Amino acid sequence: MKHAITAALFFATTVMAQAGTLYTYTSDTSGFDTHTYYYDDGQEVTVFDTQFLPSLTADMLAKIKETTRSPVTRVVVTHPNPDKFNGLSVLHAAGVESIASAATQAAMPGVNAYKRHFWINVAGAFTPQTYPEFQPVKTTFTDRSVLKLRSGETITLFELKHPGVASTQTVARIDNTGDLIVGDLVHYKAHAWLEGGIVDGTARPDLAAWRAALEELPALGTGKVYGGRGEVGGVAEVVAFQTEYLTWADREVTAYVASAPAAALADPAQASAHYAALQKRFATARPELGLSYLVGYGVYGLVNAKLK
C-alpha cells in the first residue's frame, strides 16, 4: 500500500509539472504592433499586457475564446506604458484580476496623464470622450511574486533592479520552461521605442540603465525571450542584439543632434521634421530591422535628453 501511495503521488506531481501553452496576439499599427502573450495551463489563462486600444483588448479576448475553453483569470502589466494598461477596463469588466509591481502601479497615473494630453491635444487622434478610460491594477507586489496556477504550475514575476524602456520593469518567467516575457524591454530584430520612462511629466530615457536591465535576464531564465515587439529568441542572442542596438542608436542620435541646429530640435514646430529624418536614417542604416516607424514616435525623448 505504501508503494501504491508513493506511485500515485509521483504521478500527480508529474501531471502538475507539465507545461501549458504560450500564445501570441499581435495588434496592427493602430496598437503599435504590440504583442500580448497569454498562457493557457489547461485550466485557466494568464494574459501579459493589455493592448493600447480597448477594442484591441476585446478582439484579443475573442481570439483567446477561439483558442481555448480555459477562462481568462488574470492579466500582468509588465511596465507603465499605455499599450500595456489601456485595456484594463475591458479585462476588469470581464472579471479578470490585474497584477503589476507597486512601482508600475505608482507610475501609471502620471504616464496616463502625459499620454492622454499628447493624443488628445497634440496629435488630435482622440477626444476626451474617446481616449481609453484609465483604471489602476487591482493587486500589486514588490520585488517578486509567485503566481500559482490551477494546474499546479507557477509563474514568477520579477521586478528588475534597473528600468528599461520605461521607468520600471517586470519580467515574468514561465517556471516550467524558463521562458521570459519581458514587455518592451526587448524589440528583437526590430527598431525600439526610444522615448524613455515618463517621470514627473517628462520623458527620461536612460539607455545605460536599459542595458543593465538586459544584463539581469540570463540569471532569470534559460528559455526563450518574448518581447513586446519583434521576434522571439534565446536569452543570450536577444540580450546581445538589444544591447548592441541601444549602443548603436545612442551613437546615431548623438551624431545627429551634434549636426542639427539645437534651436530647431527644441522647437516643436520644427522638431517633427528632424524626428522623421532620424526615422529615415535608422531605416536606411538598418534595413534588416522592422518597425522603423517606432523611431519617429519615440526618438524625441532621446533627442531632448541630449539637448539638455
Please check whether residue 64 is in contact with residue 158, taking contact to mean a CB–CB distance below 8 angstroms: no
Give pLDDT tens digits for 157-187: 999 999 999 999 999 999 999 999 999 999 9
Closest of 305, 257, 250 to residue 277, by C-alpha: 257
**Average pLDDT over all residues of the chain:** 93
pLDDT for the residue 2: 35
Give pLDDT tens digits for 9-47: 323 333 344 689 999 999 999 999 999 999 999 999 999
Domain ranges across the chain: 2-235
pLDDT for the residue 18: 64
pLDDT tops 80 at residue 136: yes
SS3 content of the chain, % helix, strand, coil (to 5): 45, 25, 30
Cell 525623448 found at: 301
CATH class for domain 2-235?
A: alpha beta
Give pLDDT tens digits for 60-109: 999 999 999 999 999 999 999 999 999 999 999 999 999 999 999 999 99
Percentage of residues in the chain with pLDDT exceeding 90? Answer: 93
3 state SS of 59: helix
CA atoms within 13 A on the CB side of 276: 6
Dihedral sign for Cα atoms in the order 61, 62, 63, 65: positive
pLDDT tops 90 at residue 203: yes
